[in-house]
Amino acid sequence: MKPRSIIAVENAVKRFDFERRSARAIIPPPAVDRVSFRVAEGSATALLGGNGAGKSTTIAMLLGVLKPTSGSVAVLGVDMVADRYRALPWMNFSSPYVDMPKKLSVRENLIVYGRLYGVADVATRIAELAPGLGLEALLDRATGTLSAGEATRLSLAKALLNRPRLLLLDEPTASLDPDSGDWVRGLLETYRRETGATLLIASHNMAEVERLCDRVLMMRAGKIVDDGAPAELIHRYGRANLEEVFLAIAREGVRPPHAAGSAA
C-alpha cells in the first residue's frame, strides 16, 4: 500500500507586498513560484537550495505562518490557510535561528512551550528528553547564557515535546561540534524509526542529508528544479557527492542532463 501524503503542496505561489513608487517600478519575482510536491508519511525529505531559493518561505507556509498568494498547502489533510489549528498540535518546528525567551531558564521555556502544545505531563516529558539532548545540567540555566550549540539542543527539545507526527527542521545540527551533531542525527533517526514520524529538513550539511534523507527537493529561484534520492541525484548530475550537486544547481544553475536544453 502506498504511504499517504502528510504534506501536499499544489502550485503554491508566494509574493511579498512591495511599495510601487512609480509606473516603471520593477515587480520582483515571487519568493515561491508555482511549487508542487507531496511528502509521504514516515519519510525523511530534504529541502535544499542556496540563500533566497525559497526554502524558508516554503516552510513558513507549511507552518501556516505565511499564507500562499495562490495555490494550496495541506498538512495532515488540513488546509493550512483555512484550518491550520487542527494540524498544529501534531507538528513542530526547530531552528537555531529562532530565539527563545532569554530570561527564562531552559526548564521554564520547555514548560511554557509544553503547555502551549497541550502536553499532558510536561515535567515528565522534559525528564525524558533532557538526557538524550544533554540538557540535564542546563535545565536551570537562563536560556540567554547558553552557547550556540546548547541553544540548538534546546530548540530540538522544544520541537520534540509534543511527539510530533511531522517535524520541520531548519539546520538541525548548526553550531554543533561533529560529535554532538552525530549524536543529534542518531536521535532523529531513532525518533523517526520508533514513532513513524515524517521529517522535512532544510540543511546545508550535505553529509547530514545523505545520512538522514530518502529524498531531496532541490530549489532555485523559488522553484523546485529537481527531485530524487541523494544517490539518484549524484548519478544524474555525474558528480562525486551531493555537495557537488548542490553547488552545480545553486551556483551555476546547472540543470539535470535529462532536462531539455540543460547544460552539463
243 phi and psi angles, rounded to 5 deg: -65, -40
pLDDT tens-digit readout, 179-212: 888 888 999 999 999 999 999 999 888 989 999 9
Judge whether 260 lies within some domain: no
The set of cell numbers assigned to 119 is 502536553
Cα distance between residue 73 and residue 82, in whole Å:
10
Q: Is 180 exposed, middle or buried (0-12, 13-18, 19+ CB in 10 A)?
A: middle
pLDDT at 260 over 50: no
Judge whether 264 lies within some domain: no
Look up the domain containing 229 and give its range. 5-14+29-250
Indicate the number of domains in the chain: 1
pLDDT at 264 over 70: no
Judge whether 21 lies within some domain: no
Looking at residue 30, its pLDDT comes to 92
Looking at residue 173, its pLDDT comes to 87
Looking at residue 132, its pLDDT comes to 86
128 phi and psi angles, rounded to 5 deg: -70, -40
pLDDT tens-digit readout, 66-109: 999 999 999 999 999 999 999 999 999 998 888 899 999 999 99
pLDDT at 7 over 60: yes
Full DSSP string of 2-45: PPPEEEEEEEEEE-------STTPPPPPPSEEEEEEEEETT-EE
- Would you give the distance in Å from CA 74 to the centre of its chain? 16
pLDDT range class, residue 256, cuts 50, 70, 90: low
pLDDT at 217 over 90: yes
Question: Percent of the chain having pLDDT more than 70?
Answer: 91
pLDDT at 259 over 50: no
The domain that holds 216 is classified in CATH as 3.40.50.300
Judge whether 19 lies within some domain: no
pLDDT at 248 over 60: yes
Strand partners, 10: 72
Q: In what order do the strands lie in the sheet with 91-94?
A: 91-94, 166-170, 198-202, 44-48, 215-220, 223-228
Place of cell 532555485: 220
Residue, of 137 and 175, whose pLDDT is higher: 137
Judge whether 256 lies within some domain: no
In a 3-state reduction of DSSP, which class is residue 223?
A: strand
Query: Mean pLDDT, the chain, as a whole number?
Result: 89
